[in-house]
Structure 1
C-alpha cells in the first residue's frame, strides 16, 4: 500500500515538473470553441430579402461547419425558455448579420461577438450588384465576402502569434498594417509594385526581426515573384532557401495559421512540389473554406498534374467566391490557361480578358491571350498582344516564357508545348 502511494506521488510530482513545458491539451483535453451562426436579419424591404437572408444563413453556417478546429452549434434559446443545460451549451462566439438592399446592390454585414461580454471580435461587409441575374452567384459572393474575413479573424484569435520578440508591436496591429499595405500595393500586380511591397515588408521585418507573421508574409510575397519570374536564377535560389527555413519555423510555431499554410502552399507550388502543395492548401481551406488564394493554388497543382477538368472546376469555384480582391485576377488567368490547354480557345479569351482588365501589367497574361487570339483567327490582335507582353516583359522568348517542368505531368507538358507554339506563331521570339 505504501509503495503504491509513493508511486502515485512520484507520478504527480513528475507531472507537476513537466507541466510548464507541456501544452495544456496534454493534461486536459480542450474542447473546440463553439460558434453559433444566428439567423441573418432581413433589412432589405425587398420581396426577395427574406429568402436571400435565409439562404445566406444556411451557406454561412455550412461554411463555418467545415472549419476543423471549431464546432458550430445551434443559437442559444431566447430568455425565459432556456433549458437546464443552457449554460454548458452556450457558444463561445456568435455570428450575427444583416442583409440590406440599396439602389444598385445587396449588402451583407456580419460580425463575430464574444458570448457573454458582447465584445465585437471582427466586422465584415460584402456587396454584390443588384443587377446580377444569378441569385446563386449573389448569395455565394455575399457569404464568401464576409465568411472569408470572419474565418481569418477567428483563426487569428485561435492561433495567437508565438513571436517572442520584445519589440513586437501591440497585439497584431503593427504587422497587420504592414501586411495589408503590402497586399494593397500589389492589387494590380506589376514588377514595380512587387518591389515596393517587398521593400515595405522587409523594412517592417528589419524593425522586428523575430516577427513570424511578417517573415511569413515576406516569404509568401517572394514566392509570387518566383512564380512571375521576377527574380534572376541566382536570386530565386537564395529566396527559396531563406523562405523554406522561414516557413519550417513558422509551421512549428503556428501549425494551424492560415497565412502560414497559404505561404507554405505557395512555396511548394512555386518549387514544383505539386502533390504536397495540394495537401497543404487543403489544410488551409479547412480553416477558411472561402480562401480564393488557396483555391487558385489548388487549381494550379491540378493543372500541372494534368487534371484539367478538376483545375477548371477549382478556378470556377474561386470565381464564385471572388475573394480576396488582391488575388481576383489569378483564378481568372488560371481558368483562361486551363481552357487553352483543353483547346477551348473561345472560352479562354473571355477569362483572360477579365483577368487583364483587373491586372493589366504582368505581361505574361498578354502573351497567353495572344495564343488564344492566334488560335481563334484574330491574328492582328494576337500580334498586338505579343507586342504588349514583350513591352511589359522585355527579353521574353519561347525558352523563358514557361515555368520549369520538374514534376509536371506529361499530359500538361504536351499541352503546354502546344500553347507556347501558339505564342510563337503569334510573334513570340524563339530565342
Structure 2
C-alpha cells in the first residue's frame, strides 16, 4: 500500500517517503515506522506508551528516542510549526492530515473487474454453434493459462526454496540482525554513597543513549547480559579535581575485549553535577558508539597504510589553518591515488574538502569542482556503507555547506541515530536551524553539543555557533563569552574574531571591536563586506535580515567594503 497525505507518499513496500515533487526523503527505519503508525491512525490520539511499544517492541528505550523520532518525522514533512504532528496535552500525539491509500500497481480488484464487464444477453438459436465453439476455445485457453500458472508457481516455489536454504545457512540471519548490548551497573571502588549515586546516574544516561542507536538493541543487564553480543562494564572514581570513568566492552561468546576507554571531567565551579554526569556518559558513550559502528561496518579492504594517512591528515587539520588544510588535502589525494577503492579515504577527503568550502579556503570555480567531487564520493560511500558514521557525518556536512538545509536536518539526524553524542552532527543541525531563522532552536542545539562536549577537538565550533546565534538575536553581551571561549581553543579561524568585533561594536566598545576585526583580517586577508557572508541560497528572510545587521556592525568595526 502507498499512503498519501498532504502531497507526500509513504510507500511501505519500498520503505520510503516521497515528496510532492517525487524526490525521496531519507528517514531512518524507526522514524519511517513511526510515520507509518501516524498515517494509519490519522485523526486518532496515540499515547507515548502506545508509540514506544509499537516502534520499539520488547526493547528498553527512553523517551528521548521517541522525541528524536518525532523530530525526524516533523523535519521530513517540513512540519516546523507542528501542525501535522500535533501534541495533545496530557494525552499524546495526533496526526492531523487526510490520508488515502491505494494499491501500488493501480490494478483493479477482481470485484471491480467483474463489474466493468458487460452483462451478457441470452444467445439466439442461430448463434448456438458459434457459442459452443467459443466456449470450447475459452476452455482450452483457460486450461493453457492454468497450466502456465501452475508451472510458474512451481518454478517460484523451487526458487523460494533455494533462497530459503541459502538464507537459513548457519549464522547468516544472526550475522545480519542488530547487535545486542548490555550495560552492567557502573562500579564504585570507594564505597562512597555519593560516588555510587553518581555512578548509577552516569550508567543510566549511558544506557538511555545507547538505546537511541538505530542498529543495536540494548538488553536489560540483570536478565539478559549473558544473551547479549557485547557487555559493557565500567568503574567510576573521584579524585580531588576530577571524575574519571573507565569502561571496557567484551564479546560474550569469546570473552575477547573489543574496546576500552577512559574519560575524565573536571570538578570545577562552572560545571554542576548534572553537567558532569552528562559529559561523563557522553565521553564514554561517544567512543563506544564509534567502536560499535566500526565493528558493524568493518571494511577488510581498508589498508593499514590508508588508516595511518587518515590519522595524519586529521592531526594536520585539528588546528585549523589554510596551510594545514592544504597539507591534509595533499596527503589524502595521494592516498586515494594509491587506493582508489578505499571508502575511508574518500570519506576523509570529502569531509576535509567541505571544511575548506565552509572556511572559504576553496572558492569560485574550485568550490564548484570540490562540491561535485564530494557529492560523487559521498554517494558512493553511502551506497557501500549506509550505516557508517563517518559517511553520514560527511554527508550531513556536505548538505549544510551546499545550503540544502531541510535535507541537512534529516541527514544529520541520521548521523545522530548511530551516535547520539555526536557534537559535529549537532553543530550542523544548529547551523541549518540558523539559516532557516530558528535562532532559539539553534542556540539550544549548540548548548546540547556543549553539554556532551564530544568530540572535544570540535568544541570550538559549537561555541562559535552559540555566540553567532546570540548575536543574531541581538544578545551581544551573551555572545561575547561564547566567542572568547571559542578563540581560546582555536584562534586561527578569523571568522570568530569578526563576529566578536560585531558583538563589541553592538556593545559600544569601539576599540575592542577594531582590534578584533584587525585580528580577523590578519587571519583572513582579503575579506570584505561582500565575501565574508556565507551563500544565502535557501536562507530564511528572517536570517538574511539578522545577518545583514551583523555585517553592518562588522563594517563599522573596520571590515572593508570590497
Q: How many residues align?
A: 412
Distance of aligned partners of 1:239 and 1:104 in 2 relative to their CA distance in 1, 3 Å threshold: same
Alignment match, 1:53: 199
- Could you say which structure has the larger radius of gyration? 2
Q: Is the 8 A contact 2:505 2:556 kept in 1?
A: yes
CA drift at 1:71: 0.9
State yes or no: 1:348 paired with 2:494: no
User: Per-residue displacement from partner, 1:60-85 (whole Å, max 9, x unpaired)?
Assistant: 000000111111001255xxxxxxxx
State yes or no: 1:139 paired with 2:277: yes
**Equivalents in 2 of 1:381, 1:62: separation in Å?**
45
Corresponding residue to 1:14 among 148, 159, 173 = 159
Alignment match, 1:251: 382
**Equivalents in 1 of 2:342, 2:236: separation in Å?**
38
Alignment match, 2:442: 311
CA drift at 1:152: 1.0
Q: Is the 8 A contact 1:43 1:101 kept in 2?
A: no
Q: Is the 8 A contact 1:184 1:326 kept in 2?
A: no
Structure 1 runs (4+) deviating above 4 angstroms are 2-9, 15-24, 27-30, 44-47
**Equivalents in 1 of 2:168, 2:370: separation in Å?**
33
Distance of aligned partners of 1:20 and 1:239 in 2 relative to their CA distance in 1, 3 Å threshold: farther
Q: Higher relative contact order at CA 8 Å, sep ≥6: structure 1 or structure 2?
A: 1
Alignment match, 1:81: none
User: Per-residue displacement from partner, 1:111-132 (whole Å, max 9, x unpaired)?
Assistant: 2211121111122211111224
Alignment match, 1:83: none
Q: Is the 8 A contact 1:76 1:90 kept in 2?
A: no
CA drift at 1:415: 0.1
Alignment match, 1:80: none
Distance of aligned partners of 1:229 and 1:332 in 2 relative to their CA distance in 1, 3 Å threshold: same
State yes or no: 1:128 paired with 2:265: yes
**Equivalents in 2 of 1:229, 1:345: separation in Å?**
25
Distance of aligned partners of 1:234 and 1:18 in 2 relative to their CA distance in 1, 3 Å threshold: farther
Q: Is the 8 A contact 1:183 1:326 kept in 2?
A: no
**Equivalents in 2 of 1:213, 1:319: separation in Å?**
28
User: Per-residue displacement from partner, 1:22-79 (whole Å, max 9, x unpaired)?
Assistant: 999xx958542211011111125655211110001100000000111111001255xx
Alignment match, 2:63: none
Alignment match, 2:365: 234
SS at match of 1:428: coil
Distance of aligned partners of 1:100 and 1:178 in 2 relative to their CA distance in 1, 3 Å threshold: farther
Distance of aligned partners of 1:332 and 1:17 in 2 relative to their CA distance in 1, 3 Å threshold: same
Alignment match, 1:428: 559
Distance of aligned partners of 1:135 and 1:177 in 2 relative to their CA distance in 1, 3 Å threshold: farther
**Equivalents in 1 of 2:506, 2:199: separation in Å?**
45
State yes or no: 1:399 paired with 2:530: yes
**Equivalents in 2 of 1:325, 1:423: separation in Å?**
29
Q: Is the 8 A contact 1:370 1:386 kept in 2?
A: yes
Alignment match, 2:244: 107
* Aligned pairs for 1:65-76 within 5 A: 65-76=211-222
**Equivalents in 1 of 2:415, 2:516: separation in Å?**
36
Distance of aligned partners of 1:174 and 1:110 in 2 relative to their CA distance in 1, 3 Å threshold: farther
Q: Is the 8 A contact 1:42 1:50 kept in 2?
A: yes
Q: Is the 8 A contact 1:187 1:325 kept in 2?
A: no
**Equivalents in 1 of 2:194, 2:268: separation in Å?**
13
Distance of aligned partners of 1:387 and 1:12 in 2 relative to their CA distance in 1, 3 Å threshold: same
**Equivalents in 2 of 1:15, 1:215: separation in Å?**
38
User: Per-residue displacement from partner, 1:78-111 (whole Å, max 9, x unpaired)?
Assistant: xxxxxxxx69x70011111111223421111112
SS at match of 2:525: coil
* Aligned pairs for 1:258-337 within 5 A: 258-337=389-468
**Equivalents in 2 of 1:3, 1:115: separation in Å?**
52
Alignment match, 2:37: none
State yes or no: 1:43 paired with 2:43: no
SS at match of 2:221: coil
State yes or no: 1:118 paired with 2:255: yes
Distance of aligned partners of 1:179 and 1:46 in 2 relative to their CA distance in 1, 3 Å threshold: farther
Q: Is the 8 A contact 2:167 2:173 kept in 1?
A: no
* Aligned pairs for 1:64-213 within 5 A: 64-76=210-222, 90-132=227-269, 133-161=271-299, 168-169=302-303, 173-213=304-344
- Between stretches 215-224 and 191-200, larger displacement belongs to 191-200
Q: Is the 8 A contact 1:191 1:362 kept in 2?
A: no
User: Per-residue displacement from partner, 1:329-355 (whole Å, max 9, x unpaired)?
Assistant: 100000000000000101100000000
Alignment match, 1:82: none
Any unmatched runs of 5+ in structure 2?
1-146
SS at match of 2:201: helix
Any unmatched runs of 5+ in structure 1?
78-85
**Equivalents in 1 of 2:168, 2:509: separation in Å?**
63
SS at match of 1:128: strand
Corresponding residue to 1:416 among 521, 524, 547 = 547
**Equivalents in 2 of 1:18, 1:263: separation in Å?**
36
**Equivalents in 1 of 2:492, 2:368: separation in Å?**
25
Distance of aligned partners of 1:374 and 1:244 in 2 relative to their CA distance in 1, 3 Å threshold: same
- Between stretches 36-45 and 396-405, larger displacement belongs to 36-45
Corresponding residue to 1:357 among 488, 495, 499 = 488
